[in-house]
Structures are given as C-alpha cells and as structure tokens.
Structure 1
Amino acid sequence: MSDRFASHAPSLTGPASSGFPVSPSDSLDLPEITRALYIGSGGELTVAMASGQVLRFEAVPDGALLPLRVSRVYATDTSAEAIIGLI
C-alpha cells in the first residue's frame, strides 16, 4: 500500500500512527508515553503526565479524544473504560 506521508517526520500536531489498549494501574507505567488518549466509555480519569504531574479529569464524555502526553493511567479514581493510548 502506498503512503505518501512516509517521508514526513511525525509531529505532536499530526495524526497518531499507532496505539495500544490501556489497562489502568496504580503501579505500572504505560509501555510508551502517549500523544493522546481515546476514551471509549467516559467517566473520571486520573493520569500521570509526561512531566510527572498527576491530574484528575472529571466527567470525561464517551468517545473523547484527549491530547495528553501521559506515562500512566491510574486505576484509583478512574472509572473511564475502553481507553486507547495513541502514539
């Protein structure tokens, strides 16, 4: 398959090219820092940002695309589900 953008350098403002399912954990970091999170089923979301700061987002809606660089999604205080880490 042809990819006319294969020679372009990826940027944080460009579209994601890969992703992985996120299993919230209070002790394990994600396999890679994300460029965004997709929230399939909304609720509360507690994350460790790439900077190390911990933030809690309330009332995240179903289907939200959050442009967040996170290293961990915490199980505690996270009720959102079907989370995908985009890179």
Structure 2
Amino acid sequence: MTTDYFDGQSDAAFQPARRAFAVVPHPTNEVDPLPKALYIGTGGNVTLRSIDGSADVVFKNLASGQILDVRAQFVRVSGTTATDIIGLA
C-alpha cells in the first residue's frame, strides 16, 4: 500500500495537483473538474476563459511541455492550436 504523507492535508489551489486528466477544447463546455493549471503537451495557442474572467483570452506561442498557471473554466476550440492539453487538479 502506498503511503501518502499529505493525506490529512486540505487541498488548495497553490498545492500540487492530485489529479491529471485530458482537456478537450470545446466551444461551450466547461472544463470539469476545474484545474489548478494546464500542461501544454504540444505547443501553440490556447484560447480560454479563467474562473473569474469575463472574456476569453488567447495565450500565444506556448511551448511544448509548458505549465500554464491559470484556473481555466473554459478551453475554447476556436483559436486553440496547442494539443495534448492536460488539466492538473
């Protein structure tokens, strides 16, 4: 059995992710669960709306392997050219 020394700790946005999952850009669907950050597998642009954002923004020229420290509620298909995006929650 694996020992988890952080099992009794409460989770917070600034702590390491406890879950990783594929993010598929979509015109209207929310990212679920809400990630702490996004891992960009293959670089490009990412169009998203953050949890407290009122409009979409485009992060341009992200590098492959980059961690994007933003809590993205939506990752839009339009304008997103990066692929292999992983949500970290």
TM norm. shorter chain > 0.5: yes
Question: Which residue is equivalent to 1:80?
Answer: 82
2 CA distance for matches of 1:30 and 1:13? 19
% same residue = 31
2 CA distance for matches of 1:65 and 1:30? 16
Question: Which residue is equivalent to 2:12?
Answer: 11
Tell me which amino acid in the other structure corresponds to 2:73.
Answer: S
In the TM superposition, what is the alpha-carbon distance from 1:20 to its structure 2 partner? 1.2
Q: Does 1:66 align with 2:68?
A: yes
* SS state at 2:87 partner: strand
State the Cα deviation string for residues 16-62 of structure 1 (Å, max 9, x = none): 00021011001211122110000000001100110133111000000
Counterparts of 1:45-64 in structure 2 under 5 Å?
45-53=46-54, 54-64=56-66
Q: TM-score, normalised on structure 2?
A: 0.92
Question: Which residue is equivalent to 2:39?
Answer: 38
Q: Specify every segment of 5 or more residues in structure 2 that has no aligned partner in the other structure, as ranges.
A: none
Q: Deviating runs (4+, > 4 A) in structure 1?
A: none
Aligned residues: 87
Q: TM-score, normalised on structure 1?
A: 0.94
